[in-house]
Structure 1
Amino acid sequence: MIRIDRVATRTGDDGTTSLGDGSRTSKDGLRIEALGAVDEANAEVGVLRTLLHADDSVSAFLGRIQNGLFDIGGDLCLPGEAGDRFRIDGRLLASLDDAVAEMSANQPPLDSFVLPGGSAGAAQAHVVRTVVRRAERRVVALAAAEPVNPFVLRTLNRLSDYAFVLSRHLNDDGRSDVLWTRASS
């Protein structure tokens, strides 16, 4: 188990931080950028959960996603690639695929782009989508330099798809979506 006795350790005052293996690295390094972006995504999912308190099934799944994002952080905090210690595997990915398919089946096809908006929950789901995409870009940059669990990228990619489909679900399965029109129109 994890035990945190002190939050303010002052060891990061020099611009470095500890990784899961105890090594120190710069706070602006690729690995820390990826970890930070995943942490931001987790926080945004938490905001979405607070907006959806009445929808227990979606909120419960978002809780599973939050735990999965924490597991992704656990994978990213350790340099190198050691398959026996990976925390994230194909299970969350498969659940995201299933959820996307289930929600999409109730939504009409799109003939326009969708703008963030409609309900507060849908707008926040779009924020989740964009922050997850940023996390994905940071992990791609890290993976170009060092080995990364391949399920991390696949899960982040699918999570952004899920957030988009969820936004439509929260807008009455797309019937209340805010559709894009040319600004010059």
Structure 2
Amino acid sequence: MAIYTKTGDKGNTSLFDGGRVKKYDLRVETYGTFDECNAQISVAEKYCQISENKELLKQIEYKMFFLQGEIATQDTDKFYGKSQRIEAEDIHLLERTIDKYTDELPAVDSFILPGMSLAGAQLHVCRTLCRRAERRLVQLSETIKFRPEVEQYANRLSDFMYILARAEDHYAQQQKLVDEVVKRYCKAIESK
């Protein structure tokens, strides 16, 4: 079966509920930006060194499908019967993770460079894409009403990416110190 349908050859695309809009429609731009963010989240998950973060990001990747689906639906009754949706518990998971790492990590009192490790840098890419997607969603929300959970989730997501980036950077820094101590110890043993 071909992956192309030719139905978009004239500049239109289908929404989740079957409606058709221009490919440059703000709704398409919004869920497309979340889709771009989700692809980058997948890359970040591959770079993460903290296993808990890898699992959290895998969960987020699936939740992003539900977020995008709801945004890509004009007739929400058709969406709610066919797909899961973002709920308050999904927002609470993000908040619990943010709070946990905020308590565990050293305090920050200035701007930080966007990533001191590969995972941290990639998570900052995700953070900035989340922010762009959220800006699109806020703009779209001026004309289309979304459930509060959709906007809340979009808002927490960038903070979640930020704190995961900090956690990955901190872990990488700690590992670097451990590796250096082990290296010096081995060198000292060899010289005896």
TM value normalised by structure 1: 0.86
Q: In the alignment, what sits opposite 1:63?
A: 58
Residue 17 of structure 1 contacts residue 26 of structure 1 at CA under 8 Å; is this kept in 2?
yes
- Cα distance in 1 for partners of 2:148, 2:13 equals 24
Displacement, 1:55? Answer: 3.0
Per-residue deviation, residues 113-152 of structure 1 (Å, max 9, x unmatched): 0111210100111101000000101111111111122211
Residue 80 of structure 1 contacts residue 146 of structure 1 at CA under 8 Å; is this kept in 2?
no
Residue 97 of structure 2 contacts residue 160 of structure 2 at CA under 8 Å; is this kept in 1?
yes
Q: In the alignment, what sits opposite 1:42?
A: 38
Q: In the alignment, what sits opposite 1:180?
A: none
Residue 100 of structure 1 contacts residue 161 of structure 1 at CA under 8 Å; is this kept in 2?
yes
Residue 89 of structure 1 contacts residue 151 of structure 1 at CA under 8 Å; is this kept in 2?
yes
- 1:84 to 1:51, Cα distance in 2 relative to 1, 3 A: closer
- Cα distance in 1 for partners of 2:159, 2:96 equals 12
Residue 13 of structure 2 aligns to a residue whose secondary structure is: strand
Counterpart selection for 1:87 from 78, 85, 88: 85
Counterpart selection for 2:139 from 127, 138, 141: 141
Amino acid at match of 1:69: M
Displacement, 1:171? Answer: 1.2
- Cα distance in 2 for partners of 1:109, 1:44 equals 27
Q: Sequence identity of aligned pairs in percent? A: 35
- Cα distance in 2 for partners of 1:174, 1:75 equals 37
Q: In the alignment, what sits opposite 1:164?
A: 162
Counterpart selection for 2:18 from 15, 22, 26: 22
- Cα distance in 2 for partners of 1:9, 1:56 equals 39
Is 1:130 matched with 2:125? no
- 1:27 to 1:79, Cα distance in 2 relative to 1, 3 A: same
Higher helix share: 2
The gaps in structure 2 that reach 5 residues or longer are: 175-192
Amino acid at match of 1:65: I
Per-residue deviation, residues 90-111 of structure 1 (Å, max 9, x unmatched): 1210000000011111112212
Is 1:74 matched with 2:69? yes
Residue 134 of structure 1 aligns to a residue whose secondary structure is: helix
Residue 30 of structure 2 aligns to a residue whose secondary structure is: helix
Number of paired residues? Answer: 171
- Cα distance in 2 for partners of 1:74, 1:6 equals 23
Residue 41 of structure 1 contacts residue 132 of structure 1 at CA under 8 Å; is this kept in 2?
yes
Of the two, which has the highest radius of gyration?
A: 2
RMSD of Structure 2 on Structure 1 (CA): 2.0
